[in-house]
Structure 1
């Protein structure tokens, strides 16, 4: 039931609504949190997420999970009603008719309505504008599309778990006149350009993680749930912890981008003559391997999200993560036995793709790991 509804949520959020990957995490966090509350409200074992609701002991936790996911998705994505209603009918068809189903559906709807009420006026879609003017070291739209700052409201949105969107925002990046900045620019210039000399493995790593990250992660969670034979309670906990932690990682990363506004490698390399650093040299024709996203560099949102996700899985598995993730871009699958190996590859990928400095990746990933630890230290905890 948990993986079925995650698959439906993926189809609605990514397929129908076609939202940007970072925003998708917010909606997955909402759905997963409501489903988690519905399930543990029936089954117990773990503390509910910002709620004290309890279901009748005879209620069906499967019906509660389906009803919660159905109600949250329908509330926020009414244009996908046909898909959402059809999934709900399929779910109920797998559960025996009767009082247990009725009680479960009623409780699941209560869990969803609580979540929806809790997220009113949380800053989603608020009219936030990026007012910084182009200057040395400051972000500005990048070619070829030269788009404005995408999703600036995400930087100021109220998080799901952490206290505020700036709780884990790191200090500023290395200044343009520093040695570290020069090293970062030199590395991405040498390894991240379209004409750079990379190994086949390095190029594949960059392209592997150029897929829609949210879709990759949801599929990986579903595979993990199936391979480990998780029951409905532990599956609900995994999805809720991972999706709320990664949503907060995205929110915090956007806050860092909005706050520090560091320019992207393509700008830094082409305008290196203006940065006041004698160790950098301009190349007006340099292009990254991947297309540069439309928002500032520091910190890497991808690496922050990855750090949060793998930390949650690492904690839930006691270090035996066995994380398997696939990419539609390369048509390949990678399996990681250690969280550190996954973090290494996602950090390298953004450098090899030419869209981030290594410092932005390292700091973002460490920040995401902090948020992942915070998630399980304060939420989704076992109870008597």
Structure 2
């Protein structure tokens, strides 16, 4: 009897061990590990990490827009492999061939592959590789807790790398290297741009219009209306705008100053105290709008694919807006308010914001903000209210908006309040950005758009 009980116990123990082993070795299903990895917060965190790296590396705003666009493109094209209804951008953006296809019949964790593609491109286009390495250690720990089978994990990372390599090869041909090292030739003609205080830096990216766009037919496709002629005669259109900026500099309200500072987005602000000087590094305008995408995506509870669509489409719009805007800047070569006012008034006048080192017309922040905002409005609707706290960590406060357009229109006027743009430069920049945004939306989606904001902007200029 004792022997029988002992044998029965051994059999039960063997059964328990067998069941435990079978359970512990059960392969996680694709639905399970893809569901865990598709947490959009991992994408938002990785996008924020790119902004953190760009701030540390002090990339200029046009260059930052290029980095965001290529990183998002790689992530988008990788993730859409699991979303057949999501269109590829191959054939919709210039010279971009289809990315390599995943291995047929093999299992992938596409959300993992997508984030890895984003990081691979970001790492290649930035300098602070150490920051990416440290970030990936923590990110890999999170993915490691998702029970992704080892073969799937390795295959997915490899596929993300393959797509990243494809996108980087595409980026290699966009004329970026050709534009390095060029300097803008000063004319010293009255009304033309010249370096501005406090650092009198050389002109930023004078050849940026030679960069290959993603969607534009030419860099002159959306040329704004001509700027007001340089004329300091009292009562002239230009003189009225000069006086307006001067008055804002002396009498701006607390709210106008708050708006100007909130949208400053100067990558490097110079602080000069006697013989002591230092740089304050902050978010660029493209980084600010990518952060707004993250805020709105969380508010609207967008899934990873829809979030990535918003990041990608808006970053492509900003990239192309910079090309159109920079072509206009260096073609018109218009003087900045600080130069005109100090010649006219002789009072050591300083704008509320530091003047960035490039010609005035049109406003880059206005153009790229409107381009991103127009695309996001198409994606999400024209009544998306949100609170923007993305630059709170830099001391820029928090502001709330009733719509995305409300935000980009405020960004445009902030440049006048801050003393660094004339009114027509800001509003015509907005006009250009809206047109670029409409064009980008149409090209990326294949949907026709009939819209011309010229009349609306003309009314705003007349009413200010």
TM-score (norm 1): 0.89
User: Which residue in the other structure is 2:51 paired with?
Assistant: 10
Report the CA distance between 1:330 and its aligned residue. Answer: 4.6
SS of residue paired to 1:379: helix
- Return closer, same or farther for 1:298/1:113 CA change in 2, 3 Å cut-off: same
**What are the Cα deviations for residues 120-175 of structure 1, in whole angstroms up to 9, with x where unaligned?**
13222523321241111100001221111022232321123323333223243111
- Tell whether 2:227 aligns with 1:227: no
Q: Highest Rg: 1 or 2?
A: 2
Q: Take 1:202 and 1:103, find their aligned partners in 2: how far apart are those partners? A: 53
**Contact in 2 for aligned 1:207/1:330 (Cα 8 Å):** no
Report the CA distance between 1:250 and its aligned residue. Answer: 1.9
Q: Take 1:36 and 1:98, find their aligned partners in 2: how far apart are those partners? A: 24
Q: Take 1:20 and 1:284, find their aligned partners in 2: how far apart are those partners? A: 31
Query: Which 4+ runs in 1 deviate beyond 4 A?
Result: none
**What are the Cα deviations for residues 175-223 of structure 1, in whole angstroms up to 9, with x where unaligned?**
11383212211111111x2xx1121111111111113323322222112
**Structure 2 residue aligned with 1:106, among 147, 150, 158?**
158
User: Which residue in the other structure is 2:379 paired with?
Assistant: 316
**Contact in 1 for aligned 2:370/2:409 (Cα 8 Å):** no
Report the CA distance between 1:347 and its aligned residue. Answer: 2.1
Report the CA distance between 1:240 and its aligned residue. Answer: 0.3
**Contact in 2 for aligned 1:149/1:294 (Cα 8 Å):** yes
Q: Out of 2-11 and 212-221, give the one that drifted further.
A: 212-221
Q: Out of 208-217 and 49-58, give the one that drifted further.
A: 49-58
Report the CA distance between 1:339 and its aligned residue. Answer: 3.6
- Return closer, same or farther for 1:380/1:9 CA change in 2, 3 Å cut-off: farther
User: Which residue in the other structure is 1:262 paired with?
Assistant: 334
- Return closer, same or farther for 1:83/1:157 CA change in 2, 3 Å cut-off: farther
**Contact in 2 for aligned 1:42/1:60 (Cα 8 Å):** no
**Structure 1 residue aligned with 2:113, among 61, 64, 69?**
64
- Tell whether 2:344 aligns with 1:298: no
Q: Aligned ranges for residues 349-368 of structure 1 at < 5 Å? A: 349-368=414-433
Q: Aligned ranges for residues 193-208 of structure 1 at < 5 Å? A: 193=249, 196-208=250-262
- Return closer, same or farther for 1:306/1:63 CA change in 2, 3 Å cut-off: same
Aligned length: 369
**Contact in 2 for aligned 1:166/1:255 (Cα 8 Å):** yes
**Contact in 1 for aligned 2:246/2:341 (Cα 8 Å):** yes
- Tell whether 2:208 aligns with 1:184: no
Q: Which runs of 5+ in 1 are unaligned?
A: 273-281
Q: Take 1:209 and 1:14, find their aligned partners in 2: how far apart are those partners? A: 16
**Contact in 1 for aligned 2:286/2:315 (Cα 8 Å):** no
**Structure 1 residue aligned with 2:216, among 144, 148, 162?**
162
- Return closer, same or farther for 1:172/1:73 CA change in 2, 3 Å cut-off: same
SS of residue paired to 2:251: coil
Q: Take 1:70 and 1:338, find their aligned partners in 2: how far apart are those partners? A: 31
Q: Take 2:378 and 2:145, find their aligned partners in 1: how far apart are those partners? A: 32
Report the CA distance between 1:116 and its aligned residue. Answer: 0.8
**Contact in 2 for aligned 1:220/1:325 (Cα 8 Å):** yes
**What are the Cα deviations for residues 281-304 of structure 1, in whole angstroms up to 9, with x where unaligned?**
x34422211111111100100111
Q: Which runs of 5+ in 2 are unaligned?
A: 1-41, 91-96, 266-282, 448-464
Q: Aligned ranges for residues 45-124 of structure 1 at < 5 Å? A: 45-50=85-90, 51-53=97-99, 54-55=101-102, 56=104, 58-77=107-126, 79-81=128-130, 82-83=133-134, 85-86=136-137, 89-90=140-141, 92-95=143-146, 96-124=148-176
SS of residue paired to 1:152: coil
User: Which residue in the other structure is 1:277 paired with?
Assistant: none
- Return closer, same or farther for 1:331/1:129 CA change in 2, 3 Å cut-off: closer
**Contact in 2 for aligned 1:124/1:153 (Cα 8 Å):** no
- Tell whether 2:314 aligns with 1:242: yes
Q: Take 1:94 and 1:139, find their aligned partners in 2: how far apart are those partners? A: 56
**Structure 2 residue aligned with 1:44, among 63, 84, 87?**
84
- Tell whether 2:388 aligns with 1:325: yes
**Contact in 2 for aligned 1:46/1:380 (Cα 8 Å):** no
Q: Take 1:88 and 1:158, find their aligned partners in 2: how far apart are those partners? A: 33
TM-score (norm 2): 0.74
Larger RCO of the pair (alpha carbons < 8 Å, separation 6+) = 1
- Return closer, same or farther for 1:87/1:302 CA change in 2, 3 Å cut-off: farther
**Contact in 1 for aligned 2:373/2:404 (Cα 8 Å):** yes
SS of residue paired to 1:271: helix
